[in-house]
């Protein structure tokens, strides 16, 4: 189970023209926005990355997290970037809630590297995309077979919330509505 004190949200490369090329990009954007809004209510840290030469993170997301400075990377796996590794280690959390693009490239390679170094990866299946549905599905299957736990936006938020008695429950219910 996800624990608020032990997890963080990692948003990978939802930027520029790459985002515009995604299959089902509207659904991706809707779910990532829900994740960001819920995660912020629950005081969970957020890390965001950008692949070089592709443009900035889409404004619909940066507007929701003005205090999060994206980590610009050249490697497909976030773990290949020394700045990313410093930041993820500094957070001292072992559960990574993973979303972004593309499911079969940067998300996939990052998931495998995080698993290899001992992180628990929670892949938010309705918050990852690729240019083609087949590549998305293959990427998800490979991550799950490597040990990532598959989840959904609502599953993550309710798992972190734990109980309807939590004072933040009403705010979370508004987000998923």
Cα 167 to Cα 24: distance, rounded to the nearest angstrom: 34
Clarify whether 86 is annotated catalytic: no
Of the candidates 81, 106, 113, 126, the residue annotated as catalytic is 106
CA distances from 106 to 4, 12, 74, 115 (A): 25, 7, 10, 14
Clarify whether 94 is annotated catalytic: no
Instruction: Write phi, then psi, for 85 (nearest 5 degrees).
Output: -65, -40
Cis peptide before 102 (omega within 30 of 0): yes
Clarify whether 177 is annotated catalytic: no
Instruction: Write phi, then psi, for 102 (nearest 5 degrees).
Output: -90, 145
Of the candidates 73, 79, 81, 99, the residue annotated as catalytic is 73
Residues classed as catalytic: 13, 73, 106
């Amino acid at each position: 189970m996800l624990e608020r004190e032990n997890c963080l949200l990692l948003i990978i490369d939802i930027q520029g023209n790459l985002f515009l090329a995604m299959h089902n990009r509207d659904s991706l954007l809707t779910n990532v926005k829900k994740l960001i809004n819920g995660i912020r209510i629950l005081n969970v840290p957020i890390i965001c990355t950008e692949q070089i030469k592709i443009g900035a993170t889409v404004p619909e997301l940066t507007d929701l997290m003005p205090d999060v400075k994206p980590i610009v990377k050249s490697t497909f796996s976030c773990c290949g970037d020394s700045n990313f590794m410093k930041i993820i280690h500094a957070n001292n959390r072992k559960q990574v809630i993973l979303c972004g693009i593309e499911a079969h490239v940067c998300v996939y390679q990052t998931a495998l590297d995080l698993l290899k170094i001992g992180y628990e990866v929670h892949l938010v299946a309705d918050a990852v995309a690729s240019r083609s549905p087949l590549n998305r599905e293959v990427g998800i299957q490979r991550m799950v077979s490597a040990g990532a736990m598959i989840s959904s936006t609502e599953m993550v938020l309710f798992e972190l919330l734990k109980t309807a008695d939590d004072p933040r429950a009403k705010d979370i219910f508004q987000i998923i509505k």
